[in-house]
Chains A and B, each alone.
Chain A
Amino acid sequence: MYRMSQKLLRERSFSGRSCRTFYLGLIVCLLMVLGLGSTLHAGSWRLVASIEKGKAGIFLHYPLGLNYDAALGRLYVADAGNNRLISYTTDWKPLKIFDAAGQLRGPIGMVRERDGSLWVVERPINSLTFINLKLRKVERHHLTLKGRPVLVDKMTLWKDRLVILDRATGKILMLRKDLTVEREFAPGSRNFKGFFDLKSKGDILWGMETLSGRLFGFDASGKVIDTFVPKKHLPQPVSFDRDAEGNVYILDRYMKKLLIFNRDGSLRYEMLKKGFKPGQLSYPWEVLMVGRSLLILDEGNGRIDVWNR
């Protein structure tokens, strides 16, 4: 018995180095098998800031619109529940609060023109409101399309034109300066279910279809030049964005997750989970890529989480 244990000890000491290498290799293999690949993707995002308040220290309440002005380096948040707009610096510090002297009603989105004037969507009165800050003038517009009222939703500036999403028709509308409709954007396919979100990326205007999460990319003439179909069922996709590599980020309000897809529609990884703490989601509403940062607006938590990698 004694001889046997001595032999075992000898064997152990002889093979100590190769054993270490072997176990190290085994651990690496195991980690790879257990999906380290995907966690590295998700884990590479780091929560760097949580925007929760305006300058006066009042918490955001039902924020519903995000807009980034790259020329000025300003982030604008439509704080619908508090009837105000708030601007933030590039390091996410609150800058100014604007409520048009108490006139603003439930703003759900805004864009800033080059001359500094603002377009705001006031949902409770279904108005596309023009605000000239210099002249302190507020003009409310109730749009119509072919005799039917337009329900203005999300919007962006593209090719020097105001582009809006009309929830009444599910179409994206490009507006002239006089707010008449210059062009309608919708794919011709019969099974198209209307758009729920839009984003402009260079020469392409993207729209995300309601519930399916399919993306259609249009050129300025209104022709579909690119499409994206997620290869995963999404219960309630509400917003999307694309990064420089062409990856598609889709925010799902029901799953309370951000899903990152390859250009071909295959799922790369998912991130975030349900909760109330910073970095968790309650009722997420919008995702926005700002340079290398990922901004996620959460209506339920009244917060914009900023993630960097």
Chain B
Amino acid sequence: MKRLSLLFGLLFLLSGTGWGATGRMCFQCHPRAKFLKGRPHAPVAKGACVDCHRPHVARHKGLLSEAPPELCFSCHKKVKEALKTAVLVHPPFRQGACLRCHASHTSPGKGLLKGSLSKVCFSCHKDLKTSFTHVHAPFGKGRCLACHEPHASGDRRLLKRKGAKLCLSCHKPTPKLKKTHPGTLETMDCLSCHHPHGSARKGILRDVSHPPYAQGKCAGCHAKRNLGAALCFSCHEEIQKTFDHFHNHLLGGYSPNPCLLCHSPHLADTKAMLKDTPRRLCQQCHPETYRQREETLYSHPKWKLCIECHAPHGSNHPAMLKGNGNDVCIRCHETQGKFTHPVGEKVRDPRNGQPITCVTCHNTMGTNFKYNLRLSGEAALCIECHKNY
């Protein structure tokens, strides 16, 4: 009994020697100056190395007591909560890759970032255009977090606030601003006309103008705005028929004019007047599809180009594909269309009696099997139908 109390006492003493002692002990080998340079992580500053590390042995790299993100979440509980509740999450955050952006011990800047904010962001967002004639000041200064949330948001662009509220937090509604923007400033969609990063046009306006807007024929549309999609169809007559399909994106009520869910009425970056690239635009309503890709090993190389395979207005095929599960694939995969597992109307899937197509076995949106197969090509997939094998 005496021995047991002695052991407990010793353990208590060891654990109670405090951070100072453990820190001091670690810093005997790991140079203190290296860890305390710049802005150190709170446990590092306190010398509480054992908050994250085990001194002797550990299951995780760096003698960590737990692997990130769980280790990080043990203190940063609010961030963990955001991951649980948010619909649109920054991919590194969803993957628990905290250390992709953050340093674990010390950093020269705020938020324990690995480098300057812009450097960290552009290390992944390499395709973002950076040189503009007219630049939005926060973007020019590399202050990405002035507008964006780093972890999660209700917006596909991870914006901090919805609609004009974000812009009006800096751009105060002066009489001049009100004069150039007739209507209610608070309900405007600023990003519909202005590029948030920069542009060749003054006022960082987007490059392509909708002809009636360029010609100053505002009343042509605004006088008939109650017509909803019919207003757009009055000029784009041929487009109306593209919605007359079993499945379509004419989501009336989702917006007074459903066309404006995806298209910008005044200015845009492309001729199709889309509000964003399809890759980002589609994410607003289909975040789960993006999550599927992030969480799986194999996906189609053209995955980001949604409208290569999907008809954006309407289609008579499930998933709004541009053709049936064969036609849409053989546009590129010509050989497979001629020489492959038998497909087509005459070859029926024994599980449901439907024609066998490429998508019977492949799921291009992301799977954990090579060639985007739905199940393992070793056997599991084949024996679904070929029972005798």
A123–B251 touching, CB < 8 Å: no
Whether A276 contacts B253 in the complex (CB less than 8 A), given A123-B245, A299-B318, comes out as no
Closest Cβ–Cβ distance, residue A151 to chain B (whole Å): 6
B22 on the interface (CB 8 Å rule)? Answer: no
B258 on the interface (CB 8 Å rule)? Answer: yes
Closest Cβ–Cβ distance, residue B38 to chain A (whole Å): 40
B253–A61 touching, CB < 8 Å: no
Closest residue on chain A to residue B224 by CB atoms: A147
A61–B354 touching, CB < 8 Å: yes
Per the 8 Å Cβ criterion, residues 194-230 of B in contact with A are: 226-230
A217 on the interface (CB 8 Å rule)? Answer: no
Whole-angstrom distance between the alpha carbons of A276 and B243 in the complex?
Answer: 28
A292 cross-chain contacts in B, Cβ below 8 A: none
Checking A126, A170, A171, A186 against B251 with a beta-carbon cut-off of 8 angstroms, the contacting residue is A170
Q: Contact residue range for chain A?
A: 35 or more
A276–B349 touching, CB < 8 Å: yes
Checking A123, A277, A282, A300 against B246 with a beta-carbon cut-off of 8 angstroms, the contacting residue is A123
From A92-100, A189-197, A219-227, A241-249, the one touching the partner chain is A189-197
Whether A277 contacts B351 in the complex (CB less than 8 A), given A123-B244, A168-B258, A235-B288, comes out as yes
B250 on the interface (CB 8 Å rule)? Answer: yes
B352–A302 touching, CB < 8 Å: yes
Closest residue on chain B to residue A170 by CB atoms: B253
Per the 8 Å Cβ criterion, residues 126-179 of A in contact with B are: 126, 146-149, 151, 166-171
A123 cross-chain contacts in B, Cβ below 8 A: 244-246
A106 on the interface (CB 8 Å rule)? Answer: yes
Per the 8 Å Cβ criterion, residues 265-293 of A in contact with B are: 275-278, 282-283
Whether A59 contacts B245 in the complex (CB less than 8 A), given A169-B228, A195-B253, A276-B384, comes out as no
A202 on the interface (CB 8 Å rule)? Answer: no
Checking B233, B252, B318, B353 against A167 with a beta-carbon cut-off of 8 angstroms, the contacting residue is B252
Q: Mark A206-233, 1 if CB is under 8 A from B, else 0.
A: 0000110000000000000000000001
Whole-angstrom distance between the alpha carbons of A146 and B243 in the complex?
Answer: 20
A62 cross-chain contacts in B, Cβ below 8 A: 246, 316-318
Closest residue on chain A to residue B233 by CB atoms: A149
B240 on the interface (CB 8 Å rule)? Answer: yes
Whether A53 contacts B353 in the complex (CB less than 8 A), given A123-B246, A193-B254, A210-B251, comes out as yes
A192–B351 touching, CB < 8 Å: no
Closest Cβ–Cβ distance, residue B325 to chain A (whole Å): 10
A303 on the interface (CB 8 Å rule)? Answer: yes
Q: Mark B233-247, 1 if CB is under 8 A from A, else 0.
A: 100000010011110
Per the 8 Å Cβ criterion, residues 93-122 of A in contact with B are: 106, 108
Per the 8 Å Cβ criterion, residues 356-389 of B in contact with A are: 360, 384
Q: Mark B283-313, 1 if CB is under 8 A from A, else 0.
A: 0011111000000000000000000000000
A124 on the interface (CB 8 Å rule)? Answer: yes
A283 cross-chain contacts in B, Cβ below 8 A: 318-319
A192–B318 touching, CB < 8 Å: no
A125 on the interface (CB 8 Å rule)? Answer: yes
B317 cross-chain contacts in A, Cβ below 8 A: 62
Checking B230, B258, B286, B289 against A147 with a beta-carbon cut-off of 8 angstroms, the contacting residue is B230
Closest residue on chain B to residue A255 by CB atoms: B288
B348–A59 touching, CB < 8 Å: yes
A125–B228 touching, CB < 8 Å: no
A211 cross-chain contacts in B, Cβ below 8 A: 254, 285
B104 cross-chain contacts in A, Cβ below 8 A: none
A301 cross-chain contacts in B, Cβ below 8 A: 351-352, 354
A64 on the interface (CB 8 Å rule)? Answer: yes
B353–A52 touching, CB < 8 Å: yes
B240 cross-chain contacts in A, Cβ below 8 A: 149
Whole-angstrom distance between the alpha carbons of A166 and B254 in the complex?
Answer: 12
Whole-angstrom distance between the alpha carbons of A52 and B351 in the complex?
Answer: 11
Q: Mark A34-56, 1 if CB is under 8 A from B, else 0.
A: 00000000000000000011000
Whole-angstrom distance between the alpha carbons of A108 and B254 in the complex?
Answer: 22
Whether A108 contacts B253 in the complex (CB less than 8 A), given A59-B354, A277-B352, comes out as no
B166 on the interface (CB 8 Å rule)? Answer: no
Whether A169 contacts B252 in the complex (CB less than 8 A), given A151-B243, A282-B352, A301-B354, comes out as yes
Q: Mark A297-309, 1 if CB is under 8 A from B, else 0.
A: 0011111000000
Whole-angstrom distance between the alpha carbons of A168 and B243 in the complex?
Answer: 10
B360 cross-chain contacts in A, Cβ below 8 A: 276
B227 cross-chain contacts in A, Cβ below 8 A: 147-148
Whole-angstrom distance between the alpha carbons of A62 and B251 in the complex?
Answer: 21
Per the 8 Å Cβ criterion, residues 62-87 of A in contact with B are: 62, 64, 80-81
Whole-angstrom distance between the alpha carbons of A233 and B316 in the complex?
Answer: 27
B65 on the interface (CB 8 Å rule)? Answer: no
Closest residue on chain B to residue A195 by CB atoms: B253
Closest Cβ–Cβ distance, residue A250 to chain B (whole Å): 16
Whole-angstrom distance between the alpha carbons of A125 and B228 in the complex?
Answer: 20
A168 cross-chain contacts in B, Cβ below 8 A: 228-230, 250, 252, 258
Residue among A59, A80, A108, A168 having the largest count of chain B Cβ atoms under 10 Å: A168
Residue among B243, B244, B253, B254 having the largest count of chain A Cβ atoms under 10 Å: B253
Closest Cβ–Cβ distance, residue A175 to chain B (whole Å): 17
Which 9 residue pairs are nearest across A and B when measured between Cβ atoms? A194-B253, A170-B253, A148-B230, A170-B252, A283-B318, A59-B353, A276-B351, A169-B252, A301-B352
Question: What are 11 A-B residue pairs whose CB atoms fall within 8 Å in the complex?
Answer: A52-B353, A64-B246, A124-B316, A147-B230, A149-B233, A167-B252, A193-B253, A194-B253, A194-B254, A195-B253, A276-B351
Having A167-B252, A233-B87, one finds 12 other A-B pairs with CB under 8 Å, namely A62-B317, A62-B318, A64-B246, A106-B246, A148-B230, A149-B233, A168-B258, A194-B253, A235-B288, A254-B288, A278-B352, A302-B353
